[in-house]
Chain A
């Protein structure tokens, strides 16, 4: 799976959009971009994923550049509860032999949302 690079930390004012970048310059054509987050002392939580097109759900939007070498996770109106470590993960769509998939977490971005 392709390696990802994320800034170690970011700050955001509450109510503003939080834009979290991720570089994945070695991504292959069959690899998806996934975003998870981990609030302190909790298990990771799935946010969104995409292959080529931009994606939006109730939590966030995912913008993938045309060359797919980078992406941005957008939290449109960040709240204090969005303070967490955000992980960008790139992985192939195929399953492991026998089923299941493998997530390789990088070091992530610690997002701090402040008043």
Chain B
């Protein structure tokens, strides 16, 4: 199974809402990633978790809060977002060792009103 799943597929939220994005993989990968992709732009790395510990935060605003409750799950908690945060949020995973490749989920398309 080489699948990374993400829920929900689409999300519309107001600026005062709190919501969460969920990512799951069952490939035994120990590194997981969040990327943000604006329309017609390439994906940009936000966070990297390795062995359930946060190893990289690419200066992401605190209104985005990642969480890795176990080796298969990755969440992104959203609070007080701005309309410019509307984007496709992609999750990926990799083995965390050697010349591993990243497997991406289909993404969650977020619209902030």
**In-complex Cβ contact of B56 among A38, A46, A102, A108 (8 A):** A102
State how many angstroms separate the Cβ of B103 from the closest Cβ of chain A: 7
B96 CB within 8 Å of chain A: yes
Contact indicator B50/A98 (Cβ below 8 Å): yes
Chain A: how many interface residues by the 8 Å CB criterion? 26
Is there an interface contact between B104 and A102, defined as CB atoms closer than 8 Å?
A: no
Chain B: number of interface residues, binned into ranges = 20 to 34
Given contacts A43-B4, A44-B90, A108-B42, contact A100 B96 (CB under 8 A): yes
Total A-B pairs in contact (CB under 8 Å)?
A: 73
State which of A9-17, A58-66, A89-97 sits at the interface with chain B: A89-97
Given contacts A44-B43, A95-B97, A108-B42, contact A100 B106 (CB under 8 A): no
User: What residues make up the interface of B, taking CB atoms closer than 8 Å to A?
Assistant: 4, 30-31, 33, 41-45, 48-51, 53, 55-56, 88, 90, 92, 94, 96-107
How far, in Å, is A33 (CB) from chain B's closest CB?
12
User: For chain A, what secondary structure do more than half of its interface residues adopt (helix, strand, loop), or is it mixed?
Assistant: loop
Contact of A87 (CB < 8 Å), options: B42, B45, B51, B90:
B42
Contact B105 A99 (CB under 8 A): no
21 contacts between A and B (CB under 8 A): A41-B88, A43-B4, A43-B106, A44-B43, A44-B92, A46-B103, A49-B101, A93-B99, A96-B56, A98-B50, A98-B55, A99-B30, A100-B48, A100-B49, A100-B50, A100-B94, A101-B31, A102-B45, A104-B45, A105-B44, A107-B42
